Chain A
Amino acid sequence: MTPSSRSATALPPADRVVPPSGFTARLTGFTSAAMAFLAVFALALSLASGRLADRWQAALAQSATIRISAPPSQIEAQTAAVLAILETTPGVADARALTEAEIAALLAPWLGPDLPLDALPLPRIVEIVETPDGFDANGLRMRLAAEAPGAVLDDHTRWRRPLVAAAERLRLLGLIAIALIGAATAAMITLAAQAALAANAQVIRVLRLVGARDAWIARAFVRRFTRRAFLGAALGTAAGMAAVAALPATDAAGAFLTGLGFAGLHWLWPLVLPPLAALVAWAATRAAALRELRRIT
């Protein structure tokens, strides 16, 4: 055997057999990066909505209030009656009447801090903390109607349901956005792969001439597009995470809307995006390649 004068082994890796195709490769990388960037925000929206729904559910589910509106001469008696009823109501862990100062604090955001409480016919508010099992709201309403006719029970259901439903809908929209981003990525990569295959018809002819199976040829293209998609998505994800991290922190005033972002282990979720993009690219390119190879004779 003759000593080799070659600089390296002669077997080219399968993906190097396909010539570097600048346009389609750049398109795949850019598309993946842009889509991953958007997907990070969609994911942040979805996760934040989920947290919001959980928080509202938790904050509102375990509490209720009773509003007592009665003539001044009866209000103390009805308040005492309400508290007495609540002491004997199963499912009520604690109940207390809010002080005038607390009521003023609740009204301050709408009516201002210098509220002349004496001049206003304010109702009494009794705050109820439920046990985990909760109480029988209908039974309590019937007892209140009999013993304190000015008392109205508000178990927050009418607030909680639409808020939680809205938050759940936002979470769903976030997930739909991620699915659409995935589909758009697949469509773009499919087009890029088809363009690459069409541009490399001569390469495909040569590979077939030397005995390459269609699955091998497809694999050569698929590897390239999968790697490009992964690298692009990794860059896009990193940029998206940095952008989310740079969002203004939620302050106390806006706390009830929660911050758009990730919390705790949720920061790990975006790391799923690059492998997911690679998977999408793999499936899209493979399907496109095999379809094109059947077409190219």
Chain B
Amino acid sequence: MIELQKVAHSYGGGELFADVTLALSPGGFFFLTGPSGAGKTTLLKLLYGELSPSAGQVRLFGTPLARMSRDDIAFARRRIGVVHQDCQFLDHLSLAENVALPLTVAGATTAEADADLDELLAWVGLDTRADALPPALSGGERQRAALARAVIMAPDVILADEPTGNLDWDMSLRLLTLLVELNRMGKTILIATHDLALIRAAKSQITARVLRIAGRRLQTAGAEL
């Protein structure tokens, strides 16, 4: 689905990581961990084509990123749901409008959007908050809304960057449950996090592969996880 082959990325004159090879297989559940500043967010950006590698090759759904036009990348992103720690909402739009944004830009009809959205908001427990503006939402509500936006296009892959970073433990588990549920529906999930407790909680429910960026290399994490 999404592959990195011997990828390196340089930033500000220095090499953040190098020789990274990774294949997100269909239905897989991955954790990406590592210390702050190791390059987890950068690696995620490479996986959804926001950044280009300084060396190596990124392939999105079989096509090398370097050969993709801007439009090709836009279409590929409709198959990749991304959840950011800061959620990245448009504050002048309601929660429902933000969640429906991928449908809006894809030119979906109102009837399709309304049907999908009602179901989705109920699934993440936000059906009573649909008209609220993002600044009025709690951290947990924002993350669940971000997850709803990430999945509304029924993507093949969901990438989450520190999705529980601002949440308490109960809310983190609730979000993890939703992600596990999506994985059981066949979605590929990759979560970048430094929360080892969250990784252990997930591994008690599903088989997850844990990767760690350390020493500018991507490694499979040890048995302690």
Chain A interface residues (CB < 8 Å from chain B): 1-7, 9-12, 14, 16-17, 19-20, 202-203, 205-216
Are B97 and A210 in touch, CB under 8 angstroms?
no
9 pairs across A/B with beta carbons < 8 Å? Answer: A9-B110, A10-B130, A11-B114, A14-B104, A17-B90, A20-B92, A210-B105, A211-B106, A214-B74
CA distance A212 to B78 in the complex (A): 8
Cβ of B195 < 8 Å from any Cβ of A?
Answer: no
Cβ of B119 < 8 Å from any Cβ of A?
Answer: yes
Contact among B71, B92, B94, B110 with A213 in the assembled complex (CB-CB below 8 Å): B71
Q: Distance in Å from the Cβ of B47 to the closest Cβ of chain A?
A: 13
B121-136 near A? 1/0 per residue, CB < 8 Å: 1100001101100000
What residues of chain B lie closer than 8 Å to A202, measured between beta carbons?
A: 88
Cβ of B115 < 8 Å from any Cβ of A?
Answer: yes
What residues of chain A lie closer than 8 Å to B96, measured between beta carbons?
A: 6, 10
CA distance A93 to B185 in the complex (A): 99
Chain B's interface size range is 35 or more
CA distance A202 to B91 in the complex (A): 11
Residue of B with least CB distance to A217: B105
CA distance A297 to B157 in the complex (A): 23
Residue of B with least CB distance to A4: B118
Q: Distance in Å from the Cβ of A221 to the closest Cβ of chain B?
A: 14
CA distance A203 to B99 in the complex (A): 14
Chain B interface residues (CB < 8 Å from chain A): 48, 50, 70-71, 74-75, 77-78, 82, 88-94, 96-97, 99-106, 108, 110, 113-115, 117-119, 121-122, 127-128, 130-131, 149, 153
CA distance A124 to B97 in the complex (A): 89
CA distance A95 to B56 in the complex (A): 97
Are A211 and B110 in touch, CB under 8 angstroms?
no
Q: Given A10-B99, A19-B92, A210-B149, are A3 and B105 also a contact pair (CB < 8 Å)?
A: no
What residues of chain A lie closer than 8 Å to B118, measured between beta carbons?
A: 1-4, 6
Contact among A2, A7, A210, A214 with B131 in the assembled complex (CB-CB below 8 Å): A7
CA distance A214 to B145 in the complex (A): 25
Q: Given A5-B130, A10-B100, A216-B105, are A211 and B153 also a contact pair (CB < 8 Å)?
A: yes
Residue of A with least CB distance to B51: A297
Are A211 and B77 in touch, CB under 8 angstroms?
yes
Contact among B71, B78, B82, B110 with A11 in the assembled complex (CB-CB below 8 Å): B110
Are A2 and B130 in touch, CB under 8 angstroms?
no
What residues of chain A lie closer than 8 Å to B90, measured between beta carbons?
A: 17, 19, 203, 206
CA distance A214 to B105 in the complex (A): 10
What residues of chain B lie closer than 8 Å to A1, measured between beta carbons?
A: 115, 118-119
What residues of chain A lie closer than 8 Å to B119, measured between beta carbons?
A: 1-2
CA distance A9 to B92 in the complex (A): 16
CA distance A19 to B134 in the complex (A): 14
